[in-house]
Amino acid sequence: DGLPEQDQARMASMIEHLQLRDSLRMYNSLVERCFTDCVDNFTRKTLQKQEETCVMRCAEKFLKHSMRVGMRFAELNSQAATPE
Amino acid sequence: DGLPEQDQARMASMIEHLQLRDSLRMYNSLVERCFTDCVDNFTRKTLQKQEETCVMRCAEKFLKHSMRVGMRFAELNSQAATPE
Amino acid sequence: DGLPEQDQARMASMIEHLQLRDSLRMYNSLVERCFTDCVDNFTRKTLQKQEETCVMRCAEKFLKHSMRVGMRFAELNSQAATPE
Amino acid sequence: MAANNAVGIDKEQVFGMAETEMEYRVELFNRLAKTCFSKCVDKRYKENELNMGENSCIDRCVSKYWQVNSMIGQLLSAGGRPPTM
Amino acid sequence: MAANNAVGIDKEQVFGMAETEMEYRVELFNRLAKTCFSKCVDKRYKENELNMGENSCIDRCVSKYWQVNSMIGQLLSAGGRPPTM
Amino acid sequence: MAANNAVGIDKEQVFGMAETEMEYRVELFNRLAKTCFSKCVDKRYKENELNMGENSCIDRCVSKYWQVNSMIGQLLSAGGRPPTM
């Protein structure tokens, strides 16, 4: 609030940087999870149809799950007036 | 030792920062572990009595465990005269 | 490429720093994995012969595995002309 | 010059703490999400929608995780021991 | 002075993004390696060499992991949603 | 000015290495603690104290983990290969 303009810019840039880093980590963890849950056959080097379907459903479910958790999390965060 | 005062302050501040970060991570991992081990029933949205008991015991055991490991770890570290 | 010399030095130093950090993490994760897979008997405080053998094989296999994955990963990376 | 430096360090600390606090929240969220996904979502992935049972499981899971987080936070600060190792 | 600062911030961002990009690749590699080790390598560790079956499993595992990575990357960018939370 | 900068970079490297070294030790401790907790502590949590069996298991687990850490450290440096990827 009372921060000088330059510091506000720096804070915004830090937040942006953390968000980018976090979304890349989420991407990595999503890939690992769906691969682990859906791919178990290594007799061929390309995905089979049902593996592809499984991966897409897994990813979509995970994203919907994240959005739902995000909403609930935000509600609880806002209820906790002074979180510290 | 031979560091200028300003650098000593910076080193101290870095250590403090790492300790804070590490203790917050420990807090997060403790919560995840005790939740995972103790909570498996999702027919209600509040913790039941025996879940609460389980969580508290889990957390206390984990902290005692950490302290014991910390002591042993320090002993081994001090035995290893030149650790690198 | 077009970076001033000073910035190139900084970039090189950053890469070196990330590589050091990553190799230490790999070391930690290798130790955890081989310990978890090979050590399960806690009636004595020193490793038994067959635990040692298991740990060494595990570590060697893991390193060979990492190298193989690294080669395949590099091939795929170079095929993906514009990775972004 | 010295005063300048002192201010410089303080500002670094403020930014450092803000960053640590944000990292903490992000990690809390990520662990919560991972845990509730494991507890609530059927890994056979027969469809790409969350069904009603999964959705209510998720809501309750988030609520309970939050409670556990508070309980352990209180334990850590009550022990005279702030959440340090 | 102001211009100087602006340049300073931009440069920080460039270095910050390069670092984030490298961290991303390292994490991708590490998760891939961990996952394929779990899927392909016999945990009894009867020898210190990877046998032929393990080696071809690893090659296929890397190839399939890469495909899954691309598929999910496309899903995330297609959703209008760049890979953000 | 150039000398000034060179000194600046060196100092950054010193701080960077000190930080990396500390992060390494913290991670070693955390993985050791996590692993020995899994191996030694009964997950039914019937009491809030560690019993004698758990305590001696923990002591031996720490000792063995330390040995494994040294063995693998030696393997990595012996291979001519410092612990790099």
Query: Residue E3: pLDDT above 70?
Result: no
From F26, F32, F50, residue closest to B18, measured CB to CB:
F26
Neighboring chain C residues of F31 at a CB cutoff of 8 Å: 28-29, 31-32
Query: Residue E16: pLDDT above 90?
Result: no
Q: What is the ipTM of this complex?
A: 0.88
What is the residue type of B2? G
Residue C46 to residue F66: CA distance in whole angstroms = 10
Residue D3's contacts (CB-CB under 8 Å, 6 or more residues apart) are none
Is A10 in contact with D15 (CB distance < 8 Å)? yes
What pLDDT is stored for residue E82 in this prediction?
A: 46
| CATH 3.40.50.720 is right for the domain spanning C5-79 | no
Write the pLDDT tens digit of every residue in A3-50. Answer: 788 888 888 888 988 999 999 999 999 999 999 999 999 999 999 999
Touch test C–A: 3 Cβ pairs or more under 8 Å: no
How many Cβ atoms sit within 10 Å of the Cβ of residue E10? 11
Could you give the domains of chain E?
2-78 (1.10.287.810)
Write the pLDDT tens digit of every residue in E55-83. Answer: 999 999 999 999 999 999 999 998 755 44
A56 touches D: beta carbon within 8 Å: yes
What pLDDT is stored for residue F7 in this prediction?
A: 53
What pLDDT is stored for residue D3 in this prediction?
A: 43
- Interhelix angle D52-78/A49-79, nearest 10 degrees: 50
Best CA proximity match to C29, nearest among D17, F34, E61, B47? F34
Q: How far is CA C20 from CA C14, F7, F13, in A?
A: 10, 21, 12
Reduced to 3 states (helix: H, G, I; strand: E, B; else coil), residue B10 is helix
Query: Residue C64: pLDDT above 50?
Result: yes
What pLDDT is stored for residue E84 in this prediction?
A: 42
What pLDDT is stored for residue E85 in this prediction?
A: 39
Query: Residue F5: pLDDT above 80?
Result: no
DSSP single-letter state for residue D44: T
Listed by start position, the domains of chain B span 5-79
Touch test C–D: 3 Cβ pairs or more under 8 Å: no
Reduced to 3 states (helix: H, G, I; strand: E, B; else coil), residue E81 is coil
Is D37 in contact with D50 (CB distance < 8 Å)? no
Residue C21 to residue C14: CA distance in whole angstroms = 11
Reduced to 3 states (helix: H, G, I; strand: E, B; else coil), residue C81 is coil
What pLDDT is stored for residue C83 in this prediction?
A: 46
What is the residue type of C42? F
Query: How many degrees, rounded to 5, is the angle at CA C41 between CA C40 and CA C45?
Result: 120
What pLDDT is stored for residue D7 in this prediction?
A: 53
DSSP single-letter state for residue B43: S
What pLDDT is stored for residue F67 in this prediction?
A: 98
Query: How many degrees, rounded to 5, is the angle at CA F25 between CA F20 and CA F27?
Result: 90
What pLDDT is stored for residue B30 in this prediction?
A: 97
Joined tokens for residue C64 = 């060979």
Query: Residue B32: pLDDT above 80?
Result: yes
Joined tokens for residue C5 = 């010399």
- For residues A4-24, one letter each, b for 16 or more C-beta atoms within 10 angstroms of the residue's C-beta and e for the rest, the string is eeeeeebeeebeebbebbbbb
From F18, F48, F62, residue closest to B56, measured CB to CB:
F48
What pLDDT is stored for residue F79 in this prediction?
A: 72
Query: Residue D20: pLDDT above 70?
Result: yes
Residue F84's contacts (CB-CB under 8 Å, 6 or more residues apart) are C19, C23
What pLDDT is stored for residue C9 in this prediction?
A: 86
What pLDDT is stored for residue F13 in this prediction?
A: 79
Secondary structure (H, E, C), C34-56 = HHHHHCCCCCCCCCCHHHHHHHH
What pLDDT is stored for residue F83 in this prediction?
A: 46
Joined tokens for residue D48 = 């790409």
B57 touches F: beta carbon within 8 Å: yes
Neighboring chain A residues of E75 at a CB cutoff of 8 Å: 56, 59-60
In this predicted model, which residue has the larger pLDDT, D65 or C4? D65
Residue A3 to residue A6: CA distance in whole angstroms = 8
CA D7 to chain centre: 31
A76 touches D: beta carbon within 8 Å: yes
